Chain A
Amino acid sequence: MRRLPLIALALSLAAAANAQGVTDTEIKIGGSTALTGPGALVGIAHDLGEKIATAEINAAGGINGRKVVRVFEDDGYVPARTVTTVRKLLDVDKVLAITASSGTASTLAALPMMEEQGVPALQTAAPNTVMFSPMHKTLFVVGRAYGPGTTDFVKFLAARKPGAKFLTIVQDDDYGDDVQAGYEKAIADLKLSTVGVLRYKRGQKDFAAEVLKAKQLGATIIVSGGIIAENVTIAKEARRVGLEAEIAMLWSGRLPQTIDLMGEAGNGIIAADYVGDFDEGPGKALFEKARAYLTPEELTKLNRYSLTGYVGARLLFDAIGRCGRDVTRACVVAKLETTTNLDMAGLTSPISFTPDSRISDLKLRYTILDWSKKAWVPIN
């Protein structure tokens, strides 16, 4: 095609000059997530987390004298739309890096484009194994992947309650695949007793059959692999049918809203997560800081996804900072992959990547829902 040499010329010219997204005074980064629609709970919180990080770093003078400018697009968590928004961020806004691309399917859809242009990209909201295994050079996943996280969780639960009979209810898609793989690994590693793996269709509302089956099979610990609503329904159904089992859930639904929705049925549910909360410890300190940067209404929208967004942004700023004044996409990727034990002030465990690894494998902490306090209380 006769256009190829032209494109190559243009690209090399662009590379020779100031790199994409970088001017003498500004660094432009971008992201796409659900700011409206069903995923907005996650997306808006993520956006706000990045907002805090950006305001923080700009208040301290920017990165090596350059201010950080953020462009955020709304893709409603629809993969086809993410392709459009990321294309816009890359071709029209010409950002240096992409800090968010919604969920797994969306990220994978936009990935060919991002890889082609060598754009450093972060995934902090949905740590799915498929995004770093096989590894994509420019995509960095922050968190603990669903699969390995489930393995850790099950082992923790087994230690806490020896002799338990495990059962898991997982979603019938790639997320559920990841959770199931992790579950089965823990069972195999420790030779635990498992009575069933039940799969449900995404969007399902009625869990009577699943919960009844769990009761029938005699499960004493249920690893609930729902996202938000599913876990609530499972908890409520368990209470209705008189299922006496401990319910354990992963971090996706560990939100303030979940506590309200579950009501009494949620008391005693155990949750695993790799970030803390805004109402205790380092999260609380960050919340106080955020008062200066967010409106009161925005403060009410913060949740764990704000923390993951914040942490991701800090990671990116650190890498950009280590490039000095000579900031290019390639440099940022190189610095990201050599991040070692980056301290996050206790919000998460320290972040590390290596040239061969694109997952930061953060440590899990465990909490139990205390209905009387309406909060997630840390376990030991």
Chain B
Amino acid sequence: MQFLADLIVSGLAAGAVYGLFGMAYAAIYKATGVVNFAQGEVAMLIVYLTAAVFLRVPLPFWSALLIAPLIGIATGLVLDRLVIRPMVGRPAFAIVMVTIGLAVMLRALIVLVWGSELREFPARAGEAVLTFSGVGLYPVQILAFVVLAIAIAAAWALLRFSRMGLAMRATAIDERTATLMGIDVRRVAAIAWAASAGVSALAGVLFASTTFVGPDLFQAGLKAFPATIVGGLDSVIGSAIGGLILGVVENLTGGYGDTALKEISGFIAIVAVLMIRPTGLFGARDVERL
């Protein structure tokens, strides 16, 4: 039926953004064993910075998909160097607390610097509604699918074939042994942070383009968190798929069930997965990492 198709496609569109955030969570966890609770906030910061650029220099929308990740990579490297690297060797939960502190700080800082009004993302992807067999989508949403697909392909290739990917997987399995084998663990972490921020930048820009640039953009990151738990914290591609699943489940719950339950379905998913299969659908590692 049209209704079902509409719900599923809308869910996939929202899920594409969740999936990108999920990949970002997984990238950092995979390389460092840390959950970056500031994922959404970092993405929000990058969106505001990107928007500032586009307010001064009118450029076409697709360039935002290049500029934002660049800003993201730079931000990721800076954060790693300033905040994370000094904490190397400390227990993983201490580093997680640092990311929580970062999140709280960024949320507040952005309001203090840019105010709290809602604005449109300065570069528009077009207002035309494109229909595919009765289902309508804005161009941004189609771009979201494309970006996710490219990200998944790139992640798979990098992790499977490149030396850095191999180094990441080794570090994830056992940090100490990886170091003994000559892998620069700190560099692996830095690259993970940079890549993660780059991917979240894309997620952030896509999300802001479908909604607004505002001080609550970080919520997209929070909402995407169940995606990576369901998909598996240490599985980058699994998290991407987890995001798509989450988006569809949310919309189906809203469409066929009670719309008020839509938002909580994510939390229920987390609790259910953690109780039954803590490593997620596609994860493989031992839960008692700490």
User: Which residues of A are interface residues toward B (Cβ below 8 A)?
Assistant: 36-41, 172, 198-201, 203-206, 208-210, 212-213, 215-216, 228-229, 232-233, 239-242, 257, 260-261, 263-265
- Provide the residues of chain B in CB contact with A265, threshold 8 Å: 127
Which chain B residue lies CB-closest to A41? B117
Minimum distance in angstroms from B19 CB to a CB of chain A: 15
Q: A36-B111, A200-B259, A203-B216 are in contact. Are A210 and B211 (CB under 8 A)?
A: no
Q: A209-B7, A212-B10, A261-B120 are in contact. Are A203 and B212 (CB under 8 A)?
A: no
Minimum distance in angstroms from A208 CB to a CB of chain B: 4
Subset of 15 A-B contacts with CB under 8 Å:
A38-B216, A199-B260, A201-B262, A201-B263, A206-B251, A206-B262, A208-B11, A208-B14, A209-B262, A213-B255, A229-B118, A229-B214, A233-B211, A242-B131, A257-B117
Per the bound structure, the CA–CA distance linking A232 and B112 in Å amounts to 25
- Provide the residues of chain B in CB contact with A260, threshold 8 Å: 120
Q: Which 8 A-B pairs have the closest CB atoms?
A: A209-B254, A208-B10, A199-B260, A201-B263, A209-B255, A216-B3, A198-B259, A240-B136
Report B199-249 residues with CB < 8 Å from chain A CB. 211-212, 214-216, 219-220
User: Which residues of B are interface residues toward A (Cβ below 8 A)?
Assistant: 3, 6-7, 10-11, 13-14, 111-112, 115-120, 127, 129, 131, 136-138, 211-212, 214-216, 219-220, 250-251, 253-255, 258-260, 262-264
Set B7, B116, B118: member contacting A208, Cβ < 8 A: B7
Inter-subunit contact B211/A205 (CB<8 Å): yes
- Provide the residues of chain B in CB contact with A208, threshold 8 Å: 6-7, 10-11, 13-14, 251, 254
Set A40, A204, A212: member contacting B3, Cβ < 8 A: A212
Per the bound structure, the CA–CA distance linking A2 and B33 in Å amounts to 59
Set A201, A205, A233: member contacting B260, Cβ < 8 A: A201
Q: State the majority secondary structure of interface residues on A.
A: helix
Minimum distance in angstroms from B183 CB to a CB of chain A: 41
Which chain A residue lies CB-closest to B254? A209
Inter-subunit contact B259/A242 (CB<8 Å): no
- Provide the residues of chain A in CB contact with B127, threshold 8 Å: 263-265
Inter-subunit contact A242/B136 (CB<8 Å): yes
Per the bound structure, the CA–CA distance linking A210 and B262 in Å amounts to 10
Q: A209-B251, A240-B129 are in contact. Are A38 and B259 (CB under 8 A)?
A: no
Which chain B residue lies CB-closest to A208? B10
Per the bound structure, the CA–CA distance linking A240 and B212 in Å amounts to 16
Set A38, A204, A213, A264: member contacting B263, Cβ < 8 A: A204
Per the bound structure, the CA–CA distance linking A229 and B215 in Å amounts to 12
Per the bound structure, the CA–CA distance linking A209 and B115 in Å amounts to 31
Inter-subunit contact A242/B219 (CB<8 Å): no
Inter-subunit contact B116/A212 (CB<8 Å): no
Per the bound structure, the CA–CA distance linking A239 and B7 in Å amounts to 15
Inter-subunit contact A240/B120 (CB<8 Å): no
Inter-subunit contact A242/B254 (CB<8 Å): no
Which chain A residue lies CB-closest to B135? A241
Per the bound structure, the CA–CA distance linking A204 and B254 in Å amounts to 12
Q: Which of A36, A37, A241 has the largest number of chain B CB atoms within 10 A? A: A241
Inter-subunit contact B10/A209 (CB<8 Å): yes
Inter-subunit contact B115/A229 (CB<8 Å): no
Per the bound structure, the CA–CA distance linking A311 and B138 in Å amounts to 42
Inter-subunit contact A242/B263 (CB<8 Å): no
Which chain A residue lies CB-closest to B264? A201
Which chain A residue lies CB-closest to B251? A209
Which chain B residue lies CB-closest to A39? B116
Minimum distance in angstroms from B215 CB to a CB of chain A: 6
Which chain A residue lies CB-closest to B211? A205
Minimum distance in angstroms from A306 CB to a CB of chain B: 16
- Provide the residues of chain A in CB contact with B262, threshold 8 Å: 200-201, 204, 206, 209
Which chain B residue lies CB-closest to A206? B14
- Provide the residues of chain A in CB contact with B120, threshold 8 Å: 260-261, 263
Minimum distance in angstroms from A211 CB to a CB of chain B: 9
- Provide the residues of chain B in CB contact with A210, threshold 8 Å: 254, 259
